[in-house]
Amino acid sequence: MPQGAGGAGAPRHVAIIMDGNGRWARERGWPRLVGHRRGAERVKQVVRACPDMGVEWLTIYAFSTENWRRSREEVVGLMGLFARYIRKEADELSKEGVRMRFIGDRSQLDRRLRDLMTGIEHRTAANTRLNLTVAINYGGRDEIVRAARRLAREVAAGRLAPDEIDFAALAAGLDTVGQPDPDLVIRTSGELRSSNFLPWQAAYSEYEFTPTLWPDFSPEELQQILARFAARERRFGGAKTR
């Protein structure tokens, strides 16, 4: 999409908080996991649609550091869904030029899931059509604390002076190192919160909220949201230009 009349144009990086799977299932009297399964189908469709909409980076929130508080059945079901998605989609994603990465603290994840994650990261590392980042056991504050600890260790070892710590030094310790900041963050299901998703990286992102529950979200709705984004004027703290 061309950048017209001072508008923001197409967002290069879209991040999505996929919310509402549980409510979607409850409305139908089904177990929550059915909603998550339907949500995974939506992930596939949205991933496939992104490149033609000019989106080069897509980051999705699949499991937060707080989601461990859910029932064991739901947590185990979600972990199984992530593993199945990686196994089943690996060939398709590779063929379609998708590079897949993960952010979040992997140390608490099952070793088999961690192996699948590293495997697909390596297998798709040369792909360039779409960069898909999936946040699993991710919390923004947790990510910043881990980055701060890394810097503290460097200082304690005498390899870094405290005054050398700047935005770039901290960002270099985040899970998203090397990735551009999101231009647009979308949250589904009508909740108006950012819920610890990319707090550092989304400091200047635009936000869009939709009442649609994630299992009902479609590439068509994404297209409409991107059209609204294209008309926005982004200022990054500067003065109004029109």
Out of 14, 58, 100, 134, the residue judged to bind ligand FPP by CB under 6 A? 134
Phi and psi dihedrals of 184, rounded to 5?
Answer: -140, 130
Binding to ligand FPP, residues 107-126 (CB under 6 A): none
- Choose one: 16-24, 45-53, 149-157, 226-234; the region binding ligand FPP (CB under 6 A): 16-24
217 binds ligand FPP (CB under 6 A): no
34 binds ligand FPP (CB under 6 A): no
- Least distance to ligand FPP from the beta carbon of 154, Å? 33
Q: How many CA atoms lie within 13 A of 234 on its CB side?
A: 18
In the bound state with ligand FPP, the residue whose beta carbon lies nearer, of 23 and 150, is 23
**CA-closest candidate to residue 182, choices 9, 57, 18, 44:** 57
The answer to whether the CB of 97 falls within 8 A of the CB of 127 is yes
CA distances from 35 to 29, 216, 235 (A): 11, 10, 38
- Least distance to ligand FPP from the beta carbon of 63, Å? 6
Which candidate in 21, 52, 67, 175 is catalytic? 67
- Least distance to ligand FPP from the beta carbon of 23, Å? 3
| 67 carries an active-site annotation | yes
In the bound state with ligand FPP, the residue whose beta carbon lies nearer, of 8 and 46, is 46
- Least distance to ligand FPP from the beta carbon of 107, Å? 19
Instruction: Encode 14-62 in three state secondary structure.
Output: EEEECCCHHHHHHHCCCCHHHHHHHHHHHHHHHHHHCHHHCCCEEEEEE
In the bound state with ligand FPP, the residue whose beta carbon lies nearer, of 138 and 214, is 214
**CA-closest candidate to residue 202, choices 173, 236, 230:** 236
Out of 15, 21, 133, 138, the residue judged to bind ligand FPP by CB under 6 A? 21
CA distances from 199 to 45, 176, 185, 195, 205 (A): 27, 12, 11, 9, 10
36 binds ligand FPP (CB under 6 A): yes
What residues act catalytically? 19, 67
